[in-house]
Amino acid sequence: MTTNMRGLFDGGADFDISSTVSWHALVTHQQHVYSLHLRELFVMEPDRGRELTVQAGDLRIDFSKNLITGETIELLAALAREAGVEEKRDAMFAGAHVNTSEDRAVLHTALRLPRDAELVVDGQDVVADVHAVLDAMGDFTDRVRSGEWTGHTGKAITDVVNIGIGGSDLGPVMAYEALRHYRHPGLTGHFVSNSDPADLVAVLAGLDAETTLFVVSSKTFTTLETITNATAAKAWLLAELGVGEGDPAVEKHFVAVSTNADEVAAFGIDTDNMFGFWNWVGGRYSIDSAIGLSLMIAIGRERFGEFLAGFHAVDEHFRTAPLEANGPALLALIGLWYSNFWDAQSQAVMPYSNDMERFPAYLQQLTMESNGKSVTAGGQHVTTPTGSVYWGEPGTNGQHAFFQLLHQGTWLIPADFIGFANPVDDRLTADGRSFHDILMANFFAQTEVLAFGKTADDIADEGVPPTLVPHKVMPGNRPSTSILAPQLTPSVLGQLIALYEHQTFVKGMVWGINPFDQWGVELGKQQANALMGVIGDDAVPAPLPDSSTDAMVRWYREQRGRKA
């Protein structure tokens, strides 16, 4: 396969997804589905609960409570085919340069290939490279977990601080929290990301430098927040240990995860203690690369292997299942159905798992940094809305906060519910009742009530006063997808992440955009650097171009005791 995929991914300057036959068919079809309520759909198709459920690895994905019919799926699959989703998927897996604006392969799927798989890209044996790094991570992890790796004063490590931001933080912290049950009992993980010093200060306050290991995670090793935090952490460590800059103590307490060996060395970290990855791993697709080092230290190399195997199971499903029965593809296409044909602007994700609290935040970067684009890969302005706003909270907490709007508000907000049959531990009961059963009863109840609601007649029949009836009507017909798995294991977490990675890809491919670059975050970084000089300088700044920023900056300088 050629590595130059510009033709396929640019789609040709004339290709406009909203002008395709399938798109027009979906516009017409939407009017038909709009006239039906989920109550009617379940009467017309009594077995749709089973028929519209797809198995992807261990994930049981029930799409039946969506505003769809069998025909909707056929039309959406036709749209995906017209957009070339299958060819683009195959090209991505094969290592083609699908990230056209940066001329890079996109191979997070290679990070979870088994050791005996084969993939050579641009002359490089990718599988061998991946497993060499995994082995190095595993060896290091074993040494830290066993106490063989010690700090400068010979004490075993008790605390691991991951310093990173964006994809170099959200994946590690989300997975560390989600896999709480699998963590090493003698090691505590901490995550510092924000350039607000409060983040680092709060973490350092509870730490003993002698037993702390910092993992500085940054693909580029130039990210302002990460380098600032790492520099401050190094100064803290040196002061706490009573040694000076350049002291070899740093090597025992700082390791790096990066693609940039020069910057790692310049920072003062021994590149023997650097775990590498490659420019074909995007930041938001990197938790399964060396960026997962702090997670591997927490859960051990075997569990990390299971985590990767989970990703791979869903990769294989995505790669081989027909679109009509393909979990990630359907999740994407039904999401796109709401964005583009029902004017839905957001997508809620509700994990019924407290340990998955950070999953919605993780998905925000994955989906919104990927698909928040308004030009196509070929540089044309898109003709359709793209990237939804992802948000959510664990159930049941969300029920007592924003579910009111989901049930009776005016916006159409499709929601993904994620739940597990078995808790990772069920030691506590409430009067003999399982906590977990209470949690899951709520999961099932919410998806049921969102779909079917309660009519004015039913409410009146209960003797509710007529003036109160309209307030109590539950319209129903609110779509949700239920994603269930046997248990939140490392493998299942990997499967869930891969599910959302691939749904993000499919959406991007239908929209014709490049989900793998993020040019939109650059200008803000440059501007912050420019303003650093303005707000921190002794000299009174020259007038700034706009009166709002100018007045704010002068006010800020005054507050900080600087000349305004």
Q: How far is the CB of 227 from ligand F6P (least distance, A)?
A: 8
Q: Are 163 and 226 in contact (CB under 8 A)?
A: yes
Q: What is the dihedral of CA 22, 27, 31, 36, to 10 degrees?
A: 50
Q: How far is the CB of 63 from ligand F6P (least distance, A)?
A: 30
Nearer to ligand F6P, 172 or 305 (CB): 172
Q: Are 419 and 353 in contact (CB under 8 A)?
A: yes
Instruction: Please name the residues in contact with 180: beta carbons below 8 A apart, sequence gap of 6 or more.
Output: 355, 424
DSSP 8-state symbol, 531: H
Nearer to ligand F6P, 166 or 414 (CB): 166
**d(C-alpha 362, C-alpha 115), whole Å:** 28
Among the listed residues 177, 210, 225, 369, the single catalytic one is 369
Q: Are 113 and 97 in contact (CB under 8 A)?
A: no
One-letter identity of residue 392 = G
Nearer to ligand F6P, 341 or 362 (CB): 362
Q: Are 96 and 2 in contact (CB under 8 A)?
A: yes
Phi/psi at 258 (5° precision): -165, 170
- 28 Rama class: left (phi>0) / alpha (psi -120 to 50) / beta: alpha
Among the listed residues 462, 525, 558, 563, the single catalytic one is 525
Beta-sheet strands, E only, within 9-103: 53-56, 59-62
**d(C-alpha 309, C-alpha 331), whole Å:** 21
Q: How far is the CB of 398 from ligand F6P (least distance, A)?
A: 26
Q: Are 395 and 28 in contact (CB under 8 A)?
A: no
One-letter identity of residue 381 = H
**d(C-alpha 175, C-alpha 495), whole Å:** 12
Burial of 12 (0-12, 13-18, 19+ CB in 10 A): exposed
Q: How far is the CB of 512 from ligand F6P (least distance, A)?
A: 21
Nearer to ligand F6P, 188 or 364 (CB): 364
Among the listed residues 400, 448, 462, 558, the single catalytic one is 400
Q: How far is the CB of 242 from ligand F6P (least distance, A)?
A: 30
Which residues make up the interface to ligand F6P (CB under 6 A)?
165-168, 218-220, 223, 226, 283-284, 369, 518, 521
Residue 82 appears among annotated catalytic residues = no
Q: How far is the CB of 268 from ligand F6P (least distance, A)?
A: 17
Nearer to ligand F6P, 99 or 482 (CB): 99
User: 119, 99, 123, 122: which is closest to 109 by C-alpha?
Assistant: 119
Q: Are 414 and 338 in contact (CB under 8 A)?
A: yes
Residue 369 appears among annotated catalytic residues = yes
Nearer to ligand F6P, 521 or 530 (CB): 521
Nearer to ligand F6P, 355 or 369 (CB): 369
CA end-to-end distance (rounded Å), the chain: 61
Q: How far is the CB of 5 from ligand F6P (least distance, A)?
A: 22
Nearer to ligand F6P, 283 or 310 (CB): 283
| Angle, CA 134 vertex, CA 128 and CA 136 arms, to 5° | 105
Residue nearest to ligand F6P (CB): 283
Q: Is 544 helix (H, G, I), strand (E, B) or coil?
A: coil
* 461: its two tokens: 């029949």
**Upper half-sphere CA count for residue 255 (Cβ side, 13 Å):** 28
Q: How far is the CB of 527 from ligand F6P (least distance, A)?
A: 13
Residue 400 appears among annotated catalytic residues = yes
> Catalytic residue numbers?
369, 400, 525
